[in-house]
């Protein structure tokens, strides 16, 4: 009987010894099963029990902090401010490039329409100048084989006996079209210069602060003669009532 009792005690001791040793050790992460209701035990850490409501609150705070961090990382897009000097040089190198750089695309049809009109006027006046110059030379040389001036006259029109009159007419026409040919060149240069100046001024005024309150009001006012503010005393007749114009900008 004592032998059986010793065997039972030894068996119980052998079974309980591993459990007793486990109580004095820290359970590792691999040995400890992690479940939603369990308490996570880590080496050299404090055990904290989190209630389900507190867990949901912490999750919402974590999501809020993550969104704030993400928003802070996003770069704030600054408003576009063109450089006036760059805009000027772009417009000088290629007309209209300054307006494209300033993002004022609606001005391009105006600029290129001006260039197109000047080009047409220059081409037309130069062609007419060439025709009347040749006609003037032909009518002046008295050569019967050179009669290009007849192309400038109605079909079958005879100028016999009136050559001197038509010499003056062709000379005036030649000078007329030369004048407008030169004016077309000046207009072409003017459109080129206006495009460059517009690009520069537009870029320069992009940072000009204009108040939203642009108004004009007519208000009553007390009128006093000039220099009345420097006098120690004024008579009642020197002061009058009137209206004043007030501009707010």
User: If you average pLDDT over every residue of the chain, what do you get?
Assistant: 75
Q: Per-residue b/e over 93-104, b at no fewer than 16 CB within 10 Å?
A: eebbbbbbbbeb
Both tokens of residue 50? 């989190």
Both tokens of residue 87? 């805009």
pLDDT average, residue stretch 201-230: 72
Indicate if the pLDDT at residue 7 is higher than 50: yes
Residue ranges covered by each domain of the chain: 84-207, 215-248
Indicate if the pLDDT at residue 153 is higher than 50: yes
Confidence of residue 210 (pLDDT cuts 50, 70, 90): low
- Cβ(152)–Cβ(176) below 8 Å: no
Query: Up-side HSE of residue 26: CA atoms within 13 Å toward CB?
Result: 10
More confident residue, 28 or 223: 223
- Cβ(36)–Cβ(52) below 8 Å: no
Summarised one tens digit per residue, pLDDT across range 17-44 is 555 454 444 444 444 454 444 444 444 4
Confidence of residue 233 (pLDDT cuts 50, 70, 90): low
Tokens 């809020």 belong to which residue?
64
pLDDT average, residue stretch 92-105: 94
Task: List CB contacts of 26: < 8 A, sequence separation 6 or more.
Answer: 41, 43
Summarised one tens digit per residue, pLDDT across range 106-115 is 999 999 999 9
Q: What are 93-96's contacts with CB under 8 Å, separation 24+?
A: 95/191, 95/192, 95/195, 95/196, 96/195
């Amino acid at each position: 009987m004592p032998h059986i009792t010793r065997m039972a005690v030894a068996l119980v001791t052998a079974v309980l010894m591993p459990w007793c040793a486990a109580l004095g050790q820290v359970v590792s992460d691999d040995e400890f099963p992690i479940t939603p209701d369990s308490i996570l035990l880590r080496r050299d850490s404090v055990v904290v029990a989190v209630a389900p409501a507190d867990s949901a609150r912490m999750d919402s705070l974590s999501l809020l902090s993550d969104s704030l961090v993400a928003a802070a990382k996003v770069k704030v897009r600054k408003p576009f401010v063109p450089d006036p000097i760059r805009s000027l040089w772009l417009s000088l190198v290629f007309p209209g490039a300054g307006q494209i750089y300033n993002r004022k695309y609606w001005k391009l049809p105006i600029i290129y329409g001006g260039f197109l009109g000047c080009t047409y006027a220059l081409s037309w006046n130069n062609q007419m100048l060439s025709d009347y110059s040749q006609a003037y030379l032909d009518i002046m040389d008295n050569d019967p084989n050179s009669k290009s001036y007849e192309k400038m006259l109605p079909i079958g029109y005879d100028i016999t006996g009136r050559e001197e009159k038509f010499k003056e007419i062709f000379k005036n026409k030649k000078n007329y079209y030369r004048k407008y040919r030169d004016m077309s060149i000046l207009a072409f240069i003017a459109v080129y210069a206006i495009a460059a100046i517009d690009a520069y001024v537009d870029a320069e005024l992009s940072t000009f602060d204009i108040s939203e309150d642009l108004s004009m009001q007519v208000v009553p006012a007390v009128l006093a003669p000039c220099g009345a503010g420097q006098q120690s005393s004024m008579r009642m007749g020197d002061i009058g009532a009137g209206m004043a114009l007030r501009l707010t900008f």
